[in-house]
């Protein structure tokens, strides 16, 4: 009985070991699939062995997976911001099959600051700029395949040693509440980089943020699951705006990937700032959900 009890308790050691990162971050991303396997194999093992304990072990594994997926999405009670600056952000996908529909799906959301990532070409940049200008977002900066359109003056700032293709640092001069916006498009640790390199980039990003004199907003497709070490470091230093009074939602929806329940598009704000009314939306033709939230100084 003691051995069975230990086997049942063993999956819960995940919460002790997971901060080791590296290969364990790969396991963290795959937890929904592990839960499905436990649900399927537990009854089979119980039937073959004619014992109940495989069912109990399977239930323990499923419980660990459920807690791991749900906990970093739980809503938090955060004081509403004042002023509330509406931020709309989306990876519009470089292989978007319907680029002509992208501007309308993004520019009609009442944004004060609009951010597009992975913009495929100059024509799409121009169409987004035209749609944004019609909404009063006529101050703009572009770098690589990222663009920012704002109703407040914006300017590109020095990258502070961060790779310019992955982090666009922008000053946003909101009257009375100027801030620095980091538009981030992180590399994918499941193909373009490793989880260890993702963690190093995250630490470099946080080091840069620590030097800022103005409040900071980090927004974009970080390619960072909310179950990995990098997310927990970001969440410890900053506030996850997409959990302000509402649970976080899956944002990567391409192909079969929704089965992994990946929330990789984020908005983080400096601790002195708050957020309200976070929602996700569908940018036309994209394999990501966009994120839409109001941020600003805590009221």
Task: Report helix, strand or coil for 42.
Answer: helix
Q: Taking 80 as the threshold, does the pLDDT of residue 3 lie above it?
A: no
Across-strand partners of 219?
Answer: 183, 267
Domain 85-297 CATH superfamily = Endonuclease/exonuclease/phosphatase (3.60.10.10)
240 forms bridges with which residues in the sheet?
268
Output the pTM of the full model: 0.95
Q: What is the pLDDT of residue 78?
A: 81
Average pLDDT, the chain: 95
Among 200, 201, 150, which Cα is nearest to 180's?
150
H/E segment holding residue 170: strand 167-172
pLDDT tens column, 230-241: 999 999 999 999
What mean pLDDT do residues 26-34 have? 97
Per-residue confidence at 56, pLDDT binned at 50, 70, 90?
A: confident
Angle at 204 between CA 298 and CA 209, to 5 degrees: 25
Q: Supply the pLDDT for residue 132.
A: 97
Query: Is a pLDDT exceeding 90 seen at residue 69?
Result: yes
| Sequence-ordered alpha helix ranges (H) in the chain | 2-9, 14-17, 23-29, 31-49, 53-70, 102-107, 122-134, 195-210, 229-237
For 53, list phi and psi in degrees, rounded to 5: -65, -30
Cβ within 8 Å of residue 192, ≥6 positions away = 223
How do the domains of the chain map onto residue ranges?
2-73, 85-297
Residue 4 has pLDDT above 70, yes or no: no
The pLDDT of residue 12? 93
Report how far residue 101's alpha carbon sits from residue 99's, in angstroms, rounded to the nearest whole number. 5
What average pLDDT does range 272-277 have in this prediction? Answer: 96
Checking if the pLDDT of 160 tops 80, the result is yes
pLDDT at 7 over 90: no
What would the mean pLDDT of 27-32 be, rounded to a whole number? 98
Q: What percent of the chain has pLDDT over 70?
A: 99
């Amino acid at each position: 009985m003691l051995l069975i009890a230990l086997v049942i308790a063993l999956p819960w050691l995940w919460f002790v070991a997971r901060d080791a990162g590296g290969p364990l971050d790969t396991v963290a991303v795959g937890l929904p699939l592990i839960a499905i396997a436990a649900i399927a194999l537990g009854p089979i093992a119980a039937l073959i062995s004619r014992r109940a304990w495989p069912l109990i072990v399977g239930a323990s594994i499923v419980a660990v997976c459920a807690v791991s997926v749900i906990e970093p999405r739980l809503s938090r009670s955060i004081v509403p911001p004042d002023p509330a600056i509406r931020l709309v952000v989306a990876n519009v996908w470089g292989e978007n099959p319907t680029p002509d529909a992208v501007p309308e799906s993004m520019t009609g959301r009442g944004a004060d600051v609009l951010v597009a990532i992975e913009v495929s070409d100059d024509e799409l940049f121009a169409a987004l700029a035209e749609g944004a200008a019609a909404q009063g977002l006529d101050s703009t900066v572009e770098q690589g395949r990222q663009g920012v359109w704002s109703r407040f003056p914006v300017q590109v700032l020095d990258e502070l040693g961060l790779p310019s293709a992955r982090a666009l640092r922008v000053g946003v001069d909101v009257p009375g509440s100027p801030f620095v916006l980091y538009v981030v498009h992180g590399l994918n640790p499941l193909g373009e980089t490793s989880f260890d390199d993702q963690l190093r980039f995250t630490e470099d990003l946080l080091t840069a943020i620590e030097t800022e004199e103005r409040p900071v907003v980090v927004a974009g497709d970080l390619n960072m699951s909310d179950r990995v070490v990098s997310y927990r470091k970001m969440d410890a230093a900053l506030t996850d705006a997409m959990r302000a009074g509402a649970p976080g939602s899956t944002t990567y929806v391409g192909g079969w990937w929704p089965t992994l329940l990946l929330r990789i598009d984020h908005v983080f704000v400096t601790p002195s700032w708050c957020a309200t009314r976070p929602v996700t939306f569908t940018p036309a033709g994209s394999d990501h959900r966009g994120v839409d939230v109001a941020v600003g100084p805590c009221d």
